[in-house]
Structure 1
């Protein structure tokens, strides 16, 4: 396949590039730093401008670009960065696709489980309504709306609402492992918020599955079938590391430090990947304890204790 990838230097993008190298797909990565692509993205060519691919027939576009959403509080300037890197970039991408003599047959566009906002204890799937109360859900709604415009071009659009990704390098585990290895981890707030998650291998395999199944269109929750509460997640991680989890972080401290962004840690979604499973996709790592057992030995080689 001939694939254009945005966000190729990120956690999921790099994993996709490694996955796509053996089959010999022709892969371009649109990046602000195209000179880094060859080093970070196996077998891909970096481009700085979409116009470099004008007239090049593509089979698929995979749009995963977006500045990290949880790296710093959502100040006014940070909100602009997050909006431009997702909503504005996707609009530019679809506008470019419209100008091509032969648009790609499929656009797979990233989104996040934050689309649902804080769902409390309600069961959620792809038919559930969006949240509207916080910036994160508003961002995801606008992001998906820009991608949906590609349908007017006759392009199949699949939206991947990704949960926090567990990977041996980078992502959520990289932030959690240092304190948890020291026995300094613990629940966030009261720990009762639901915490969807997905193993990096399942994220990559789901994207691959959606690309090759023409009947798959619309939103898909990229999350494990086993959604756990935050307290269960922290206890399972601590137990996997043979450490205690005795130091909870009070909700007031998170709200004070992070402001509105604290909803990412204190809110949650009791989420099911209903449409992915109905489409025939099988999760390789559906249970948290097994997923951590598979990941932690690999993470030990890349994360300082």
Structure 2
């Protein structure tokens, strides 16, 4: 199998590329960080690196690829959502997806599968309601971004799977890695009232789920990639502090988060009680469905 992937140097992408190279697949990676990519994968004979988005101009079609995996995109939480940053977030997702879709559709023998990213922000603030893939999109910026991202990918003339991803937990990157120093110094605490549900997924399960979607040809459309047991922020705070043997008594009021983060605060204050209904229905089994099991496995003595 020959896989074309974008975003392969990120937290999820690195694990996926290593998984597929280990399975003797050929992998072609499109990246803006060729040095990083080559430092990880250069020694593997089945790895090929393209160093810029403009490299897509080398292709008239994607006849030579069996699957396309699109994980690229400007980090959504790193910078304040100014008009310029919103445009950067939009362009990094929609424009690239349009180009990939066009190459798939120009193929006489197109890839059999297109795995394209999305996120839990699609749903906005849904409170206590259990949210499956049938729930409609919200209307805020993050939701509109995800909706257009998905709409663009669905134009591809092949099997399309959309990954509405929760917070991906790993001590080596992502949201959890950024929180760990605060908790280890005893500065952890709940955000807002702490009652909001946090959709999360262990990195191991995220990689397994994407690999599952790639190989199960009956899977198509949107999938909530998250644990079947989302957790309230206050419970996450308690469990992480307990596992690290630290106190976590601080509270950051919602108005302070909104003042500091602006619209980005919605990503940590909105409540999404997500259920991976379609993934479970297809028979996928989670390695870590409960947060306390994941934390104990990751940080347990």
Structure 1 position 34, deviation (Å) = 3.0
Residue 187 of structure 1 aligns to a residue whose secondary structure is strand
Q: 2:121 maps to what in 1?
A: 114
Which whole-Å CA distance do the structure 2 matches of 1:256 and 1:168 have between them? 28
CA contact (8 A) 2:59 2:103 kept: no
Counterpart of 2:141 in structure 1 is: 135
SS in 2 for 1:257: helix
Alignment-derived partner of residue 21 in structure 1:
21
Kindly state the Cα deviation for residue 35 of structure 1 after the two structures are TM-superposed: 4.0
Q: CA RMSD in A?
A: 1.5
Is residue 147 of structure 2 the alignment partner of residue 144 of structure 1? no
Partner of residue 302, structure 1: none
* Distance of 1:106 and 1:163 partners within structure 2: 22
- Residue 132 of structure 2, aligned match among 125, 128, 139: 125
> Once the 2 structures are TM-superposed, how far is the Cα of residue 98 of structure 1 from its aligned partner?
2.0
Q: Which residue of 2 aligns with 1:213?
A: 216
- Alignment match, 2:268: 265
SS in 1 for 2:191: coil
Matched, 1:253 2:256: yes
> Contact 1:37/1:45 (CA < 8 Å) preserved in 2?
no
Contact 1:8 1:41 (8 Å CA) reproduced = no
* Secondary structure, aligned partner of 2:154: helix
Q: Deviations over 1:5-46 (max 9, x none)?
A: 011111110111121221111001111233432213474321
Unpaired segments of 5 or more residues in structure 2? none
- Secondary structure of the equivalent of 1:97? helix
Q: SS of the residue aligned with 1:149?
A: coil
How many Å separate the matches in 1 of 2:78 and 2:3?
29
1:144-223 aligned at under 5 Å gives the runs 144-150=150-156, 153=157, 155-223=158-226
Give the alignment's TM-score, normalised by structure 1.
Answer: 0.93
Aligned equivalent of 2:296 = 293
* Partner residue of 1:101 out of 104, 108, 119: 108
**What does residue 84 of structure 1 align with?**
91
Q: In structure 2, what is the Cα distance between the partners aligned to 1:270 and 1:93? A: 32
Deviation at 1:53, TM superposition (A): 4.7
CA contact (8 A) 1:183 1:245 kept: yes
Aligned CA distance change for structure 1 residues 185 and 148 (closer, same or farther; 3 Å): same
Distance 2:125 2:269 in 1: 9
| Partner Cα separation in structure 2 for residue 121 and residue 61 of structure 1 | 35
1:58 aligns with 2:65: yes
1:301 alignment counterpart: none
**What is the distance in 2 between the residues matched to 1:148 and 1:52?**
23
**CA–CA separation in structure 1 for the residues paired with 2:115 and 2:41:** 19
Structure 2 distance, partners of 1:201, 1:36, is 21
Partner of 1:280: 283
